[in-house]
Amino acid sequence: MDRLDAKILTILQERGRISITELAQMLKKPRSTIRERVLKLEKNGYIKGYRAIVDPEKLGYRYLAFVMLKVRRRVTTSGISNQEEIARKVLIDTAKDPSLPFVEEAYIITGAYDIILKVWAKRWGDLTSFLIRYLASFEDIISSETFLVLKAISENKGVFPYK
CA distances from 116 to 8, 20, 110, 112, 148 (A): 32, 38, 10, 11, 13
Alpha helices in the chain (DSSP H): 3-14, 20-27, 31-43, 82-96, 124-129
For Cα atoms 22, 23, 28, give the angle at the middle one, nearest 5 degrees: 95
What 3-state DSSP class applies to 120? Answer: strand
Contact 43, 35 (CB under 8 A): no
Contact 122, 64 (CB under 8 A): no
* 132-149 confidence digits (pLDDT tens): 999 999 999 999 999 999
* 2-54 confidence digits (pLDDT tens): 999 999 999 998 888 999 999 999 999 999 999 999 999 999 999 999 888 88
